[in-house]
Amino acid sequence: MPKMKTHKGTKKRFRLTATGKAMHRQCGTSHLASRMSQKRKRKLRGTAAVDKSMQTSIHESLGKYGY
């Protein structure tokens, strides 16, 4: 059996915490943010946890980095 390959797009977009939760960057901040209010831009800073329903598929896509 060949080795499982890591999905490189998933590896670039998500990182795992020590407890196994996947964290992601908030969307909508890369460009065209001048039309947003400052409050909305502030809320989108930093990272957020991925929904529980997506956790298993992200772990599978990460391959050896998933667990």
| Domain ranges within the chain, ordered by starting residue | 8-65
Burial 34-49 (b: 16+ CB within 10 A, else e): eeeeeeeeeeeeeeee
pLDDT tens-digit series, residues 16-33: 999 999 999 998 888 998
Give the integer Cα–Cα distance in Å for 54 and 33. 27
Classify strands 47-49 and 22-25 as parallel, antiparallel or unpaired: antiparallel
User: What is the CATH code of the structural domain delimited by 8-65?
Assistant: 4.10.410.60
pLDDT tens-digit series, residues 32-65: 989 999 999 999 999 999 999 999 999 999 988 8
The residues facing 36 across adjacent strands are none
Question: What pLDDT shows up at residue 61?
Answer: 92
Classify strands 22-25 and 14-16 as parallel, antiparallel or unpaired: antiparallel
Query: What is the enclosing helix (H) or strand (E) of 48?
Result: strand 47-49
- Enter the pTM of the model: 0.77
